[in-house]
Structure 1
Amino acid sequence: MKFPGRRKLKHYFPVSQAKPILPLSEVRPDKDTYIVGLDETIVDVVASVGDDFLERYNITKGLSNLVDHQTATNIYSGLVEKGCISDHFAGGTIGNTLHNYSVLADDKSVLLGVMSSNIKLGSPAYHYICHTSSKVDMNHLQGVVGDIGRGITLITPDGERTFAIAPGDMDELNEDHIPEDIIAGASAFVTCAYPIRHHRKPIQKALTQSLQYAQKHHIPVVMSLGTQHLVTENHDQLMDIINQYVDILAMNELEAEALTGHSDPLLAANAALEYVDMVLLTAGPTGLYLCGYADNNAKRETSNPIKSGSLEDFNKYEFSRPIARKECDNPIKVFSHIDPYMGGPEKIKNTNGAGDGALSALLHDIAANNFHKEVVPQSSKHRINYLAYSSFAQICKYSNRVSYEILAQNAPRLSKGLPEKEDSLEESYWER
């Protein structure tokens, strides 16, 4: 695993073992360590425009705007005419997360969604496959007659991102194409809130079916919230889903405020912990927070400087490892925070995908814990049923580093793994 810090080989995956001459790309639930994600398959077109361009096509600035196919085609033609397009990327919150996970872990993940049955050169489906890691198993995608989604990211001179989304057939995923055995064998199931806004579309039932399978087989459910606007408009429905199924929430500070009513990230995370076991909250230039639970008898004090904000000494036990609240005899809330790595990139052109990168690092740590539990079940690392392999502080460090790489490269998906691992004083503490 490409974690920061020195780690013993037996703690990672893949390990040094004999492999088949022709390794299978398809996931084997009884043998592989992997995560599963459900997403609206979509291709992102990135372009820089002025505010007048948004006004011309009646696009609301700073929000995610659903447009019909013809409007999206007109917008795209206008961008081509003006030479505004900088690139095409395979997109989708969960698609990004799975790709980054597979790059970081150098191992498999499974994508659930739709894909065009007939893929043509230059089509959205063509761009999607070209920009997705070969480690992402697409064998369980549902074929559709039309196009997958097309999301046009319009970046104005002030740095604000505005989205024009033409769904195509991306929401036609039906519940019959959700493989229970694949979800049952996963280390985690990850999805986002976007499908809930498409009322009466098949993907809503597919999402519900996936959540039910994950709950049935005790697979941790991770949900990314999408956008502030989406959370505000679908708050009650979203809260029902969170209360019933979700174990881990990933969000930024604006989405957290829309969900909890607290503008302060710490207070928002504290409130969200009443519903879930862990919260990953990215807060732009102020860094990121990872919050959750530990058992009072298993808590570990930090050797980092103690921090106070809206909560006093909030990071005191950040060297603790995350545990689901129901697994704790005496649960305590644990908070960890980290400033942007090296202050963040010198110049940020596009923040798209930074939160997805942070989430992929957390998922990598969760999968590593599951892998290590299977390979070394008698390890002292598993005397308690932990949610993740590392401490809150170490996962913060890892997530932060991945976010930096996303921001520095101006693309939502990693093209390669992280640079050389960094030493960590905490590791010698855990390896004892």
Structure 2
Amino acid sequence: MAETKYDVLGIGNAIFDVLVQTDEGFLARHGMTKGGMALIDEARAAAIYDDMGPATEMSGGSAANTIVGLAGFGARTAFIGKVKDDQIGRLYSHDIKAANVSFATAPANGGPATGCSYILVTPDGERTMNTWLGAAQDLTPDDIDAAEVAASSIVYLEGYLWDPKNAKEAFLKASHIAHEAGRQVALTLSDAFCVDRYRGEFLDLMRSRTVDLIFANEAELQSLYQTSDFDTALAALRQDVALGVVTRSEKGCVVATRDNVIAVPAFPVGKLVDTTGAGDLFAAGFLFGLVRGAGYENAGKLGALAAAEVIQHIGARPQASLKQLAKQHGLPV
């Protein structure tokens, strides 16, 4: 097999995050479903933004957060996602490159502005997202660089990509190229509401071996198999995919193959501030362990460590060196 240029290449919606700490009343006033991700139009985005208090603004997007986390561990990474050539798009591009991530997707010259997600964080640390995809929905198969995909050990895709039609085709093209080159393809289910929208298609991606590795949390897994019983859902997942990793908040995670299930505890957390990016950073740690050949249990521990770091501050990008944290805790880097 040819040498790899990247450990992990992520493909996802390039979204700029606007985060604000607020109360349940704000969610009720705007008719939001707490803890979920709703797709909104530009007019609703403006209405929410106008009503928000002082905000923290930073580059985001689910797969991009994972890729930045991987770079923080010292992995070789790349990201494919669409921004517009506007002020926020240029800021996004600068941020991701500054995190040591290769980002060569050509920005859009026309069309909608760079996408934004308005993220409301309630006092219990739960995050509620309202996402206007903007330019992100214009990611097309032409944006997939075949050579870059083929030179990546793992291609990582986000379930949110299933909302824009063109991105769906880009996703399938990338999976095909990766498998032709003997690489692995990972998918995160992203959100229980996203699973509700595309359950049949996600199951087909798994059963057709379009994806090799699935990341999900408990709610997403139970939505996927339409059961409230965790063990039933896990048994079904083990039949449908070669490797499944399910996060269970404070209960840690389970790593499931056809032959075995390994439970890994959560990492202790001083104070839960904001759950934005918890799943994204867990995936970063797990994928890092996987590409380093550290074994499933250590991969789970690296994921738990990264998730614990990100939920103790506002925003979905790590503030501490994940590499140093892993070393401090005796984990392989």
The verdict on a shared fold, with TM-score over 0.5 as the criterion, is yes
Question: Using the alignment, how far apart are the partners of 1:276 and 1:133 within structure 2?
Answer: 35
CA RMSD of aligned residues (A): 2.2
1:288 paired to 2:253: yes
Q: Which residue of 2 aligns with 1:112?
A: 80
1:91 paired to 2:60: yes
Question: Using the alignment, how far apart are the partners of 1:234 and 1:345 within structure 2?
Answer: 33
Q: Which residue of 2 aligns with 1:24?
A: none
1:190 paired to 2:151: no
Question: Using the alignment, how far apart are the partners of 1:113 and 1:355 within structure 2?
Answer: 19
- TM-score normalised by structure 1 residue count: 0.70
Answer whether contact 2:288 2:299 (CA < 8 A) is retained. no
Partner amino acid, structure 2, of 1:187: S
Q: 2:315 aligns with which of 411, 416, 431?
A: 411
- Gaps of at least 5 residues in structure 2 are none
List per-residue Cα deviations over 1:361-405 (Å, max 9, x = no partner). Answer: 22212322xxxxxxxxxxxxxxxxxxxx12222222222112211
> What SS does the corresponding residue of 1:59 show, helix, strand or coil?
coil
Partner amino acid, structure 1, of 2:237: A
Structure of larger gyration radius: 1
Q: Which residue of 2 aligns with 1:392?
A: 296
The 1:132–1:350 alpha-carbon spacing in structure 2 relative to 1, beyond 3 Å, is farther
- TM-score normalised by structure 2 residue count: 0.90
Partner amino acid, structure 2, of 1:250: F
Answer whether contact 1:273 1:292 (CA < 8 A) is retained. yes
Q: What is the aligned-residue identity percentage? A: 21
Question: Using the alignment, how far apart are the partners of 1:289 and 1:408 within structure 2?
Answer: 22
The Cα of 1:211 is off from its aligned counterpart by: 1.7
Relative to its length, the structure with more helix (as a share) is 2
Q: 2:122 aligns with which of 129, 151, 156?
A: 156
Partner amino acid, structure 2, of 1:152: Y
Correspondence 1:224-235 to 2 at 5 A: 224-235=188-199
Question: Using the alignment, how far apart are the partners of 2:115 and 2:95 within structure 1?
Answer: 15
Question: Using the alignment, how far apart are the partners of 1:394 and 1:262 within structure 2?
Answer: 30
1:35 paired to 2:8: yes
Question: Using the alignment, how far apart are the partners of 1:205 and 1:162 within structure 2?
Answer: 28
Q: Which residue of 2 aligns with 1:422?
A: 329
The Cα of 1:265 is off from its aligned counterpart by: 4.0
Q: 2:305 aligns with which of 401, 422, 426?
A: 401
Q: Which residue of 2 aligns with 1:214?
A: 178
The Cα of 1:128 is off from its aligned counterpart by: 5.7
> What SS does the corresponding residue of 1:71 show, helix, strand or coil?
helix
Partner amino acid, structure 2, of 1:354: A
The 1:183–1:104 alpha-carbon spacing in structure 2 relative to 1, beyond 3 Å, is same
> What SS does the corresponding residue of 1:405 show, helix, strand or coil?
helix
Aligned residues: 326
Answer whether contact 1:288 1:396 (CA < 8 A) is retained. yes
Partner amino acid, structure 2, of 1:357: L
Q: Which residue of 2 aligns with 1:241?
A: 205
The 1:108–1:423 alpha-carbon spacing in structure 2 relative to 1, beyond 3 Å, is closer
The 1:276–1:31 alpha-carbon spacing in structure 2 relative to 1, beyond 3 Å, is closer
Answer whether contact 1:256 1:263 (CA < 8 A) is retained. no
Answer whether contact 2:289 2:302 (CA < 8 A) is retained. no
The Cα of 1:164 is off from its aligned counterpart by: 1.1
Partner amino acid, structure 1, of 2:266: P
Answer whether contact 1:99 1:132 (CA < 8 A) is retained. no
Answer whether contact 1:33 1:186 (CA < 8 A) is retained. yes
Question: Using the alignment, how far apart are the partners of 2:138 and 2:66 within structure 1?
Answer: 21
List per-residue Cα deviations over 1:156-203 (Å, max 9, x = no partner). Answer: 3444322111111111011112111111111100001112133xx322
The Cα of 1:205 is off from its aligned counterpart by: 1.6
Partner amino acid, structure 2, of 1:396: G
Answer whether contact 2:83 2:113 (CA < 8 A) is retained. yes
The Cα of 1:267 is off from its aligned counterpart by: 4.0
Question: Using the alignment, how far apart are the partners of 1:243 and 1:88 within structure 2?
Answer: 39
Correspondence 1:316-355 to 2 at 5 A: 333-341=259-267, 344-355=268-279
Question: Using the alignment, how far apart are the partners of 2:4 and 2:295 within structure 1?
Answer: 27
Q: Which residue of 1 aligns with 2:131?
A: 165
Question: Using the alignment, how far apart are the partners of 1:134 and 1:95 within structure 2?
Answer: 11
Question: Using the alignment, how far apart are the partners of 1:236 and 1:64 within structure 2?
Answer: 19
> What SS does the corresponding residue of 1:249 show, helix, strand or coil?
strand
Partner amino acid, structure 2, of 1:218: G
Q: Which residue of 1 aligns with 2:100?
A: 135
> What SS does the corresponding residue of 1:58 show, helix, strand or coil?
coil
The Cα of 1:103 is off from its aligned counterpart by: 1.0
